């Protein structure tokens, strides 16, 4: 099976690439792309085949490149790891009926990339959000970009700071509490079969480096409510803050995330189920059954791993003890 991971050079793709390499049921050939030359970013060394792509800023050239790659190499399935690829794949996949890409839907893509519109939509289904503040702010605030990736568009605003709000940002009260990411697996109809909340114990550059799986009923119930309102097939994640006042929605990413490897490592490789269902059209076991395979309360810590892309043929010594200076 040929699987494509566009922009596989980026950090968020590494966890997905490792997970796909650990599949127990399927032999896969992983195709990756990126703007960097092979070896410049470690993600380019983890895939089986890597091709340098045009920049995402050159939309027409980038779309043509992906379409040609899919046709020329018999790509069976595509995994999206970047928000910026969601709309691109939404457009070009219509031309490739034999390639499986689990599309979250055009309207969902537009909704959840706009953090303000998403927050208002979630509030309408009875889930708390940090209060959206206008000009009468007298409490600590969060300044957010409307269109952003992960947690990179968030700035904690000091009351003494003056913010030039020009329509591209909005302001929310800062809710303090425990931060959670919830990984979700839904079938083609958007029905949830696996919901795994993870408390974010250590965060670096918006990514979870240490996380603990928690079987939290409040978070699971809030996630189910989102599933039943918005049909979101496939694997995606939603972020919450929980404190003594309740559960507060922060954002939803309608794609698989790099940190999902934490849930997979502490449970089972549910990418197998994902391929079973969306590629081979098999049923996914019930949520009640799958939740029992999760090692709840486990702590998962991620770590850096070195990669080397040799530029010359250098013969390495068998042992440093053989070198005499």
For residue 1, what pLDDT band results from cuts at 50, 70 and 90? very high
pTM: 0.86
User: Residue 159: its pLDDT value, please?
Assistant: 47
pLDDT at 47 exceeding the cut of 80: yes
Give me the pLDDT at residue 135, please.
40
CATH class given for the domain over 176-301: alpha beta
The rounded Cα 275 to chain-centroid distance in angstroms is: 17
- CA 242/CA 132 separation, integer angstroms: 17
CA angle centred on 254, ends 251 and 260, rounded to 5°: 85
Structure tokens at 240: 């919450």
Query: What local confidence, expressed as pLDDT, does residue 66 receive?
Result: 97
Q: Which residue has the higher pLDDT, 273 or 164?
A: 273
- Say what percent of the chain tops pLDDT 90: 69
pLDDT tens digits for range 103-155: 999 999 999 999 999 999 999 999 999 998 754 444 556 767 767 766 666 77
Would you say 3 and 76 are in contact if contact means Cβ atoms under 8 Å apart? Answer: yes
Q: Taking the CA atoms of the chain, what radius of gyration do you get in angstroms?
A: 21
Looking at per-residue pLDDT, the higher value among 79 and 39 belongs to 79
Tell me: the pLDDT tens digits for 215-264? 999 999 999 999 999 999 999 999 999 999 999 999 999 999 888 999 99
**CA angle (242 as vertex; 238, 244 as ends), nearest 5:** 160
Question: Domain ranges in the chain?
Answer: 2-101, 131-173, 176-301
pLDDT in the model for residue 160: 45
Kindly tell me the burial class for residue 18, based on how many C-beta atoms sit within 10 Å of its own C-beta (0-12, 13-18, 19 or more): middle
Pairing between β-strand 141-145 and β-strand 169-173 as defined by DSSP bridges = antiparallel
Nearest to 43 by CA among 79, 15, 85, 82: 15
CATH class of the domain whose range is 2-101: alpha beta
């Amino acid at each position: 099976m040929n699987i494509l991971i566009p922009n596989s050079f980026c950090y968020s793709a590494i966890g997905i690439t490792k997970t796909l390499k650990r599949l127990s049921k399927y032999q896969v050939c992983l195709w990756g792309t990126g703007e960097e030359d092979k070896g410049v970013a470690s993600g380019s060394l983890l895939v089986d085949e890597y091709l340098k792509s045009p920049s995402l800023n050159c939309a027409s050239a980038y779309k043509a490149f992906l379409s040609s790659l899919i046709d020329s190499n018999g790509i069976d399935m595509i995994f999206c790891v970047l928000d910026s690829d969601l709309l691109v794949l939404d457009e070009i996949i219509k031309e490739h009926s034999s390639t499986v890409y689990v599309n979250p839907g055009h309207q969902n893509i537009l909704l959840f990339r706009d953090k303000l519109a998403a927050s208002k939509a979630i509030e309408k289904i009875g889930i708390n959000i940090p209060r959206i503040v206008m000009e009468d702010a007298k409490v600590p605030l969060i300044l957010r970009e409307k269109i952003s990736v992960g947690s990179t568009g968030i700035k904690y605003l000091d009351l003494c700071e003056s913010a030039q709000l020009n329509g591209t940002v909005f302001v929310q009260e800062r809710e303090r509490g425990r931060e959670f990411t919830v990984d979700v697996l839904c079938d083609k109809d958007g029905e949830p079969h696996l919901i795994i909340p993870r408390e974010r114990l250590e965060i670096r550059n918006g990514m979870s480096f240490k996380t603990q799986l928690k079987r939290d009923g409040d978070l699971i119930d809030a996630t189910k409510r989102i599933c039943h309102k918005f049909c979101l097939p496939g694997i995606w994640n939603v972020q919450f803050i929980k404190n003594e006042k309740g559960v507060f929605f922060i954002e939803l990413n309608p794609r698989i995330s790099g940190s999902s490897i934490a849930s997979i490592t502490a449970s089972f490789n549910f990418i197998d189920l994902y391929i079973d269902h969306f590629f081979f059209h098999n049923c996914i076991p019930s949520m009640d059954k799958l939740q029992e395979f999760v090692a709840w309360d486990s702590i998962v810590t991620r770590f850096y791993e070195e990669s080397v892309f040799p530029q010359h043929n250098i013969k390495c010594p068998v042992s440093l003890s053989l070198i005499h200076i």
